[in-house]
Structure 1
Amino acid sequence: MIKVKQKKSKIGCKPDQVKTLEALGLRRIGHVKEHDDTAVIRGMIYKVRHLVEVVE
């Protein structure tokens, strides 16, 4: 399991990045969600890597 924390705002981001954050379950700065460590989740995190922080 990995924890994903949103560290920056989604305001001004591209629409696909906003949807990726929503798909990860992140709604606001400081929000943390726990996910299984799969290739799909890793790809989503990579797409918004400038907005999130990962704790393994």
Structure 2
Amino acid sequence: MYLGYGHWTHDDFNTLVLFVIVIIPLLIFGKFLQKHRDIAKGIMTLIIIVMILYGLFIKH
């Protein structure tokens, strides 16, 4: 992963996309999730599973 200066690689773009996909929903639903901890745990578990699968697919 190299998000610094110079040319962007495909992995850099994938990492940025993943961050956007994860961070934006968390910012939007942050207040909502604080009131519904069970739902928050479910969503976080789902995000972790997606990130693991995403990582496995990138490496192959």
Question: TM-score scaled to structure 1, two decimals?
Answer: 0.33
Give the structure with the larger strand fraction: 1
The structure showing larger relative contact order (alpha-carbon pairs under 8 Å, at least 6 residues apart) is 1
Question: TM-score scaled to structure 2, two decimals?
Answer: 0.31
Give the structure with the larger helix fraction: 2
